Amino acid sequence: MTPSILVVGERLSGHLTSATREAVGVALALAGPEGSVVGFLAGSSLDRSVTEFGELGVTRIRTREDPRLDAAGAGAIAVSVVASAEAVSASVIVTGGTEFGRDLTGRLAVRWSAAVANGVTEATWADAGGLRVLRPVYGGRATETRRLTGSRIAIAIRPHAFAEPTAGAAVAIAEPDAGPEIPDPLLAARRTEVAAAGVSAGPALSDASIVVSGGRGVRDANGFRLVEALADSLGAAVGASRAVTDAGWRPSSFQVGQTGKAVSPQLYIAVGISGAIQHIVGMVSSRVIVAVNNDSSAPIFRVADYGIVGDLFQIVPALTKEIRRVRGLPAG
Amino acid sequence: MEIAVLIKPVPEAETRLRARTDGTQLDAEGVKFVLAGYDESAIEQALLLREATPGSKVRALAFGPAPRTEEVLRAALALGVDEVTWVESPAEGADDPGVVARALAFALARVPHELLLGGKQAGDDEEGLVTAAIAESLGIADFGSVVNLRVDSASGSLTFQRATEEGVESWTAPLPCAIALQQAWNDPRTAKLPNILKSRKMPIAKIPWAEVSAALGEAARPRSVAERFELPPARTGAKMIEYKSPEEAAETIVRLLREEAKVFP
Ligand SMILES: Cc1cc2nc3c(=O)[nH]c(=O)nc-3n(C[C@H](O)[C@H](O)[C@H](O)COP(=O)(O)OP(=O)(O)OC[C@H]3O[C@@H](n4cnc5c(N)ncnc54)[C@H](O)[C@@H]3O)c2cc1C
Ligand SMILES: Nc1ncnc2c1ncn2[C@@H]1O[C@H](COP(=O)(O)O)[C@@H](O)[C@H]1O
């Protein structure tokens, strides 16, 4: 079998995102030496990203130059993605696990009649046919293995679950595709503004590789600054328990948990958070969890890998200082 | 405005998860099902929009088996939703997101929906794609991770923000469209007892699976098979850091994170 796999490229400030790079790695592994991987790009000024695809070892890129697609919903882009998938006889479409990628697989489930899965952490060909995928479910409290059947499969991978491929040096050729007409209703919305992520300057919460979260233990809005300083020392995103967002110390966009965001970073540091189940379900799939709490019986220690029992007002500043020291940053 | 809200019954957060004996999926025996967290927020959002736009109606739809689906629909009625539709699911294959989306899209032909509201993702399967798939079936645009949804009454269009990797985006979109909400209402309304009692007697429009599958034909066939449902090995409890001073605690944890857990350089 010589599978053809289409990777949908996403760009941030003109460059391919890390999510797309991870998707390329997955596609290359699935294609194997016999199969082929084709990139897809839509929007304007695509040349630089065509080159970047080449540097990852993908040499054939379907491009849809159309400035309307720079700020369009996944529905408009899905029209061209499907046309490209058909043009290269793709049997699998892979996207990064971003908001866009997850939205796109939903559109492809119907537009391309695809078997679909989001949040994929493993993907292998199944002997019985199709693709076997592993996905964390229930906030990471369980995993499910599904077999996606048929000759049209679309997956969005989970952020940080796969390594980016090591850079090659191939030259990529763009194959411009005028593509089918995009129905008007899919282009009618307008993006009027993009503001940098959140109140803090850190990376977006759901995509961050390190998250530092604070809870009621910080005592007030001012106390929460200790959490932000620690995050800053690590280049981490800042999260919060619902006690913090309910109290209005930080906006609800910071909330991690059942009714907030689900995060799965490499490192999650919980400061002054008790570990209620509604918080746990949003962060338990983090790779390494550190908890700082002055109550040794706090339930957060049951899911943590490392625990420090102590007063956060003493521990956190010392930790921030030590991290800044080892990372060679000026004392904050 | 005609608002349709998609609500999914999911196991309540405290559920002790376990696999069925054949190991393929969750054992739902004895599990209590409730409204998915984001869907509860979607209902709250719909009711707020109805209050802001006189003459609006809010209708909820759920796809699933008895009795859990009926229960969450009654919960929606008790919260103040005007009408509800139960789209019955088959015994097997009901977890394939393509089937879920097509069945709900079929049902939506009977439910007015200038605005279609869903949750960002359901707390069980966490696919986060059903709302987009329904929008594709209906030929309308969809937007995910939406917060601060408002209706501009002069133009009749929606304004909202989306939290994406790029930052916070502001959008204006005409109706009809589909929205997957990420709003965390920290104080959604709770149902009052008289309304709970009243909801028990309110009608539920039911669409039997036989009808859905006859209409959809080949499209109702699941495209995926559940093979295994596993619980990760329990975390064995934290390694507790021994220390005499905060500085020592900091040094120890940083060393462990770098050398043992290898999480930062
Ligand atoms: C339907 C529903 C949905 C929910 N969704 C969410 C959600 O999405 N996310 C979420 O987080 N919660 C959610 N909750 C709320 C959740 O149940 C808890 O109430 C909340 O997580 C508690 O936040 P906390 O841990 O910050 O506060 P607390 O439980 O009050 O814990 C504070 C902790 O700080 C410690 N502490 C105090 N002082 C210090 C100090 N000086 N040094 C060190 N430690 C200190 C205490 O020992 C304690 O463990 C939800 C609840 C419901 C009912
Ligand atoms: N069985 C269902 N019945 C009604 N709505 C659903 C169902 N499954 C998913 N949805 C809607 O789609 C959203 C996303 O679900 P999911 O794609 O499964 O993560 C949910 O928050 C609901 O609004």
Residue A252 pLDDT > 50, yes or no? yes
Q: Are residues A320 and A243 part of one domain?
A: yes
Whether A52 and A160 share a structural domain: yes
Residue A92 lies in a domain: yes
Q: Provide residues with CB under 6 Å of ligand 2.
A: B 6-8, 36, 38-39, 61-64, 97, 100, 104, 118-119, 121-122, 125-131
Residues A183 and A214 in one domain: no
CB-based burial of residue B228 (10 Å sphere; 0-12 exposed, 13-18 middle, 19+ buried)? middle
User: Residues of B with CB below 8 A from A110's CB?
Assistant: 98, 101-102, 105, 133, 136-137
Contact check, Cβ <8 Å, A290/B264: no
Domain match, A156 and A234 both: no
Specify whether A13 is located in the same domain as A54.
yes
Our CA-based measurement puts residue A32 at a distance from the nearest CA of chain B, in whole angstroms, of: 23
Q: What is the mean pLDDT of chain A?
A: 92
Please report whether residue A235 resides in a domain. yes
DSSP state of A184: G
pLDDT of residue B182: 85
Res A203: pLDDT: 66
Say how many Å lie between the CA of residue B61 and the centre of ligand 2.
10
Q: How confident is the model at residue A296 (pLDDT cuts 50, 70, 90)?
A: very high
A204 found inside a domain: no
Classify residue A269: in a domain, yes or no: yes
| B188, containing H or E segment | none
My answer on whether A163 and A100 are in the same domain is yes
Q: Which residue has the tokens 């959604």?
A: B188
The alpha carbon of residue B6 and the mean position of all alpha carbons in its chain are separated, in whole angstroms, by 7
Confidence band of A253 (pLDDT split at 50, 70, 90): confident
Which secondary-structure segment (H or E) carries B210? helix B209-216
Superfamily (CATH H level) for B2-220: HUPs (3.40.50.620)
Tokens of A271: 């400061």
A120-141: buried (b, 16+ CB within 10 Å) or exposed (e) per residue? bbebeebeeebbbbbbbbbbbb
Question: What are the angstrom distances between the C-alpha of A61 and each of A36, A41, A85, A105, B21?
Answer: 11, 7, 11, 20, 47
- pLDDT tens profile A149-207: 999 999 999 887 888 898 777 889 999 988 899 999 999 999 988 886 544 445 678 77
ipTM, two decimals, is 0.88
CA distance B128 to B134: 12
**What is the pLDDT, as a whole number, of residue B265?**
65
Least confident of A12-16, A231-235, A318-322, B64-68: A12-16
Q: What is the DSSP letter of B26?
A: B
* pLDDT beyond 80 at A105: yes
Q: List the domain boundaries for chain B.
A: 2-220, 235-265
What is the residue range of A280's domain?
210-326
Does residue A244 register a pLDDT over 60? yes
**Are A24 and A75 in a shared domain?**
yes
Can you tell me the distance from the alpha carbon of A293 to that of A297, in angstroms, rounded to the nearest whole number?
9
Are A230 and A319 a contacting pair, CB within 8 Å? yes
Q: Are residues A132 and A19 in the same domain?
A: yes
Ligand 1 site, CB within 6 A: A 215-217, 241-244, 255-260, 272-274, 276, 278-279, 282, 292-295, 298, 311-313
Number of separate domains in chain A: 2
Q: Pick the closest to residue B63 from B110, B106, B27 (CA basis).
A: B106
Q: Is residue A197 part of a domain?
A: no
**Are the beta carbons of A273 and A215 closer than 8 angstroms?**
yes
User: What is the CB-side half-sphere exposure of residue B203 using CA atoms within 13 A?
Assistant: 4
CATH code of residue A165:
3.40.50.620
